[in-house]
Structure 1
Amino acid sequence: MDEKHHYGVVDNLDKLFLVLPEHILKALEEKENSDELIEIVMDLGRSPEARFTNGFSILIESPVERSDIEFTLGRVGMFTRDNRAGIERTLHRISCIRNRVGNVVGLTMRVGRAVYGTIDIVRDIIVSGKNILFLGPPGVGKTTKLREVARVLSDEFQKRVIVVDTSNEIAGDGDIPHPAIGRARRMQVPSPERQHDVMIEAVENHMPEVIIVDEIGREEEARACRTIAERGVQLIATAHGNSLRNLLLNPTLTDLVGGIQSVILSDEESRRRGTQKAVLERKAIPTFDIVVELRDRDTLGIYRNTAEAVDVILRNYDPRPEVRKKTKDGSIEVLKEIEEFETVEEVYSLSDWNQPKYPEGKMLRVFLFAVSRNYMERAITQLKATLEVVEDINDADIVLTLKSRYRKKTNRLREAENRGMPVHVIRSNTYSQVLRFVKDLFGLSDSYEKSGETGLIEAEKAARQVLRESEPIELTPRNAFVRRLQHKIAERYNLFSQSIGEEPFRRVTIYPRNLDDT
């Protein structure tokens, strides 16, 4: 992404300033950085403060008096049960602090801004139709992005969008929603504990294509999210939690990303994995297909497949999100965190492959069904392929057969497929067809001489390097057939492997054994 994006900001600061006592307003107007203003704080008996993105400033030395607080209270909307109020047709939020008998003794006036263009950094993901969860600490712009999401999907893509608005946080105070959400409809939530009811009501009564919710924080809301997702409605939300790993360990919200359960493995399976018999695994399909971590206002990490990322975390590894960053000139960069993979590519050379030194028993094994063994052995010799023909299908990693035989689906072939064994088909029993199969299997196409690398050899060498250095390695993007074989190679070395990324860049990552579990 190298195009530049221009952002427009609507903050309605003049309407917020109208609720301030005159002497406090005058001091604030003298500040030259009002565009960086985040909130104004008025606490009884203390000097009023203005808080900015890079610090705070005392507005006046004299303390706030009760009359100052009463002045502001008389100019804002009614406070709800969560001690929040607003200014009609704006996005500003006024929160109060009460004493033991319920009297207001402090006010926090948060500046609400409609920022147009803020989702350009994730626009491709927003329009994918998938369920998306935004995570991040307070102040990084989660709610701001939700407003822009609502406007883009409702106006530009003409989708039926409903915003479930707790405390009028997204669309502002009053009965008429702020223009920042476009043509999206807004359903107000009378109190935070009713949010899950309004979410379900939105689906049942108003036929939305997209539902947008801010601050999923209760177990009931997590269940409502799963119900909405199961009904085929796109769900875009934010949740309490700074990262995917943090959310996964939150017992209240873990179901949003699939949940965790303890599983007892068989002796054979625990030996194969190199782990203890009791392990943690993902409990269900995640409610949200994609998780976006907002690391700061300009940087985010994207997990395009939540299920895969959670599985990697539960193996005690760090999943590698796609990192995007908005630069100072407004352009967007995609940062690829795979430098170690690039180093691996430089190590492997064609001369290395011509004289393989693989450990005995690490060859890839093929079972031939109605295919000439002589042709196969001749192709293996010519290409110096690390491939071995076996007599028993139970000893094989892959099966090669003819198209005519595959159509008949004999018991042997059906049994092999049921066991998850790759079955490859060639049109005729000729040497040229067998040779082409071996070339394709090892990536020995016309571009091989240029790349100096093959899918299976790359996996073999990466597995041995992972064993030596105990560091994960990402392999080159390959097709689904080659990836399945790469997984088998990792399994033979008793290593954990995972496919990551989207086609045509989907690739295998090989991880070391978890030393704590061996």
Structure 2
Amino acid sequence: MEEILRLFPEGIRQAVHYRIKDRWKTMQEIRFRLNQPVELIFDDHTEWIETIKPDRKESIFVLNQLSEFSLYRMEDELREGYVTIEGGHRVGLSGKVNTLHGAVKAIQHIAFFNIRIAKQKIGCALPIIPYLYTDNYQNTLFIGAPQTGKTTLIRDVARLISTGWRDVTAQKVGIIDERSEIGGSKKGIPQHNLGLRTDVMDACPKAEGMMMMIRSMSPEVLIVDEIGSENDVQALMEAINTGVTVICTIHGRTLEELKKRPSLKPLFDYNVFQRIVLLDRQNHPGNIHRIFNQKEENILQKTGCFKNEVDWSASFHRHNNINRV
């Protein structure tokens, strides 16, 4: 995790490294706040480094590391409120907002940093991939609140679809990775394993990227993270009308909650999604709560499986405890 540790001044770097040690696999976030202890958020608990309280000088060090000493290069990211670094880790930023004509121009006097740890969990989508395939892959929506494992799941879904599983032939996959979180690309090259037949449009706005990918790379399955705007929905509808299967994620807690959002109304009016996967955390990220078909019937089978943990083996035998991501 050198790409994360390098963000911190030497003293904080050593303290964070010493505290985490070999527990990076269970790390979710590192919260770095001015004049407050550093917060370490693991899968099942939170710890504080009480002896470390970053000051303004140390926050400037982090900003310089993020921007490679050029805040001008981060202009777009500062408007969005986050920066994606090597490995697909996302650093959220908060502070005093600078506006122009009522729109956010940038965040100034940044005093709060949230480093979200990107994880690749090979095999985590094995238990659910059969639900997404019936003669062909189904248009699928993953619903979950933040930190429920949506991105981790669709990353592995992409790998499985583009490599093949059981006797299902590999298909061409196109990923629109607007936030560079799915592939964790560096200079356009994914750092995560996305499979053999996957092409990535990195750091590209979703609405524009979907049609660009269809025109240029002719994918059979299109994967997009965190849809929500009217432009995203319109682009999804256009993509589906070209015959491409779409698999995407969205922030939300329930299906009923999403149906109340005006921007998403066309998706539900036209029954775009043949599968809807609802995630929740319970005591850890990645619980598959329900899987709905197009009639909104729950088709998830929980007999003898889907309990607490993922079965990380390459086998397709189902054991207890295989739905954790």
* TM-score normalized with structure 2 length: 0.79
The 8 Å contact of residues 24 and 59 in structure 1, kept in 2 or not, is answered as no
Distance 2:97 2:248 in 1: 35
The 8 Å contact of residues 132 and 292 in structure 1, kept in 2 or not, is answered as yes
The 8 Å contact of residues 27 and 60 in structure 1, kept in 2 or not, is answered as no
Distance 2:145 2:127 in 1: 18
Task: Select which of 62, 82, 85 maps to 1:84.
Answer: 82
Are positions 1:238 and 2:252 aligned together?
A: no
Aligned to 1:135: 143
Aligned to 1:66: 56
Are positions 1:144 and 2:152 aligned together?
A: yes
Pairs aligned (count): 281
Deviations 1:99-121 (A, max 9, x none): 24523222111100011011011
Are positions 1:21 and 2:27 aligned together?
A: no
CA positional deviation for 1:139: 0.8
Aligned to 1:300: 289
Distance 1:170 1:181 in 2: 8
Distance 2:33 2:280 in 1: 31
The verdict on how the C-alpha distance between 1:329 and 1:86 changes in structure 2, with shifts beyond 3 A counting, is closer
Q: Provide the identity percentage.
A: 25
The 8 Å contact of residues 89 and 117 in structure 2, kept in 1 or not, is answered as yes
User: Could you list the runs of 5+ residues in structure 1 that have no partner in the other structure?
Assistant: 1-12, 260-283, 310-318, 335-518
Aligned to 2:117: 111
Distance 1:173 1:96 in 2: 20
Match for 1:298: what amino acid? Answer: N
The 8 Å contact of residues 92 and 110 in structure 1, kept in 2 or not, is answered as yes
Are positions 1:125 and 2:131 aligned together?
A: yes
CA positional deviation for 1:133: 0.7
* TM-score normalized with structure 1 length: 0.51
Distance 2:117 2:175 in 1: 20
Aligned to 2:258: 247
Deviations 1:261-296 (A, max 9, x none): xxxxxxxxxxxxxxxxxxxxxxx3x11111111133
CA positional deviation for 1:173: 4.3
Match of 1:40, SS?
strand
The verdict on how the C-alpha distance between 1:241 and 1:100 changes in structure 2, with shifts beyond 3 A counting, is closer
Task: Select which of 236, 240, 247 maps to 1:229.
Answer: 240
Aligned to 1:165: 177
Are positions 1:54 and 2:52 aligned together?
A: no
User: Could you list the runs of 5+ residues in structure 2 that have no partner in the other structure?
Assistant: 68-72, 99-107, 312-317
The verdict on how the C-alpha distance between 1:121 and 1:46 changes in structure 2, with shifts beyond 3 A counting, is same
- The root-mean-square deviation of aligned C-alpha atoms, in Å, is 2.3
Match of 2:145, SS?
coil
CA positional deviation for 1:145: 0.8
Match for 1:290: what amino acid? Answer: R
Answer 1 or 2: which has greater helix percent: 1
Deviations 1:291-342 (A, max 9, x none): 11113323331112x2x22xxxxxxxxx5442541444834569xxxxxxxx
The 8 Å contact of residues 124 and 310 in structure 2, kept in 1 or not, is answered as no
Distance 1:65 1:173 in 2: 31
Distance 1:329 1:170 in 2: 20
The 8 Å contact of residues 146 and 251 in structure 2, kept in 1 or not, is answered as no
CA positional deviation for 1:84: 2.0
Distance 2:177 2:44 in 1: 29
Aligned to 1:338: none
Distance 1:119 1:37 in 2: 20
Aligned to 1:7: none
